[in-house]
Amino acid sequence: MTRMYQYRLPFLRGELADLPERLTLKDLMPLDHYHYCGTAAIDLAIERLKVTPESQILDIGAGVGGTARYLAQRVGCPVTGLELQPQLCQMAGELTERTGLSERVKFIQGDILEGITGQFDAWLSLLVFLHIPERKTLFSQCAAVLKPGGRFYIEDYVQLQPLNPKEQGTLAQMVACPELPFIPAYQQHLEQAGFGHIAWENVTPLWQDWVQQRLMQFQHKQEHYRQKHGDDLVQSYLNFYQAVADLFSGGNLGGVRMWGQLLP
Ligand SMILES: C[S@@+](CC[C@H](N)C(=O)[O-])C[C@H]1O[C@@H](n2cnc3c(N)ncnc32)[C@H](O)[C@@H]1O
């Protein structure tokens, strides 16, 4: 996990050096979004979770908080972000302070597998569960943080066809993703934890294009980035973006959006 993210904070700090102290969300995008398809992905989550200004929302695996800030600003609701890695959690708090959203957006450093106190109207989790193979504990903790009837929304990796050993190795070593379910098993794990009314959407073609575009845009700006951030950091990004683009283009790795409710 740490290996996957160790270059992200130095890059973010380097980019922040050119930005004013007081930040808008637009200044930060896409720097503070570690999921795919930017704010469009969050807009869809807001719709499917039926978020209102009164909703109490939990963002599981909040990264540096881009999702939580956007959601709170767009809808006006309070959002709590839970983030495992202390440095990312601290950065999430700093960026939130600098965007003037600290009243509505809070971050807790912790592991979803250990649970958190409090109950929420809904949670979302964008590209986080691929890092967590302990699905039974994961989804029972995810159920415990929801009020009865509360809603959830997930974006995640899945296997569409069996991953070959090379793909499994790349996922484990470069993406900190040790194993992945197929969609029916995923749904079953959620049901076993008490979730129901589950719907899902296969977003593999969308993500195949998006990760390819991300790679090409980074390659296009690589000379600029090399001068600013140094060769090692840029090479880490290129390797990671290339590996993910290759994995998706192989057709065995897929992307899914899933949403539903905790049954009363
Ligand atoms: C790909 S990033 C996505 C971040 C964020 N959801 C976003 O869209 O920008 C995955 C995040 O999940 C966090 N994470 C992984 N396992 C976690 C766990 N067990 N509990 C809480 N956070 C976790 C990682 O530290 C990382 O910040």
Residue 235 covered by a domain: no
Q: What is the CATH number of the domain that holds 30?
A: 3.40.50.150
Residue 239 covered by a domain: no
The residue to mutate among 131, 138, 240, 241, having the most atoms of ligand 1 within 8 angstroms of its beta carbon, is: 131
Residue 7 has a pLDDT of: 85
Residue 230 covered by a domain: no
| Measured distance CA(178)–CA(165) in Å, rounded | 12
Is the shortest distance between the CB of 155 and ligand 1 below 6 Å? Answer: no
Ligand 1 center to 110 CA (angstroms): 10
Residue 151's closest CA among 75, 264, 260, 41?
260
Ligand 1 center to 114 CA (angstroms): 14
The residue to mutate among 37, 44, 83, 116, having the most atoms of ligand 1 within 8 angstroms of its beta carbon, is: 83
Residue 4 has a pLDDT of: 61
Ligand 1 center to 103 CA (angstroms): 22
Cβ contacts of residue 111 below 8 Å, gap of 6+? 84
Q: How many domains does the chain have?
A: 1
Residue 212 covered by a domain: no
Residue 84 covered by a domain: yes
Q: Which domain holds residue 12?
A: 2-156+178-204+254-262
* Atom in ligand 1 nearest the alpha carbon of residue 112: 20
Residue 39 covered by a domain: yes
pLDDT along the chain (264 residues), means of 10: 74 95 96 97 98 98 98 98 96 98 98 96 98 98 97 98 98 96 98 98 98 98 96 95 98 98 95
Residue 91 covered by a domain: yes
* Atom in ligand 1 nearest the alpha carbon of residue 126: 6
Give the number of other Cβ atoms within 10 Å of residue 170's Cβ. 19
How far CA 132 is from CA of 16, 47, 76, 124, 219, in Å, comes to: 30, 26, 30, 15, 30
Is the shortest distance between the CB of 111 and ligand 1 below 6 Å? Answer: yes
Cβ contacts of residue 57 below 8 Å, gap of 6+? 49, 51, 68, 71, 77, 78, 79, 80, 120, 121, 122, 123, 124
Is the shortest distance between the CB of 170 and ligand 1 below 6 Å? Answer: no
Residue 1 has a pLDDT of: 58
Ligand 1 center to 154 CA (angstroms): 12
How far CA 41 is from CA of 14, 78, 92, 125, 127, in Å, comes to: 26, 19, 19, 11, 11
Is the shortest distance between the CB of 128 and ligand 1 below 6 Å? Answer: yes
Ligand 1 center to 85 CA (angstroms): 8
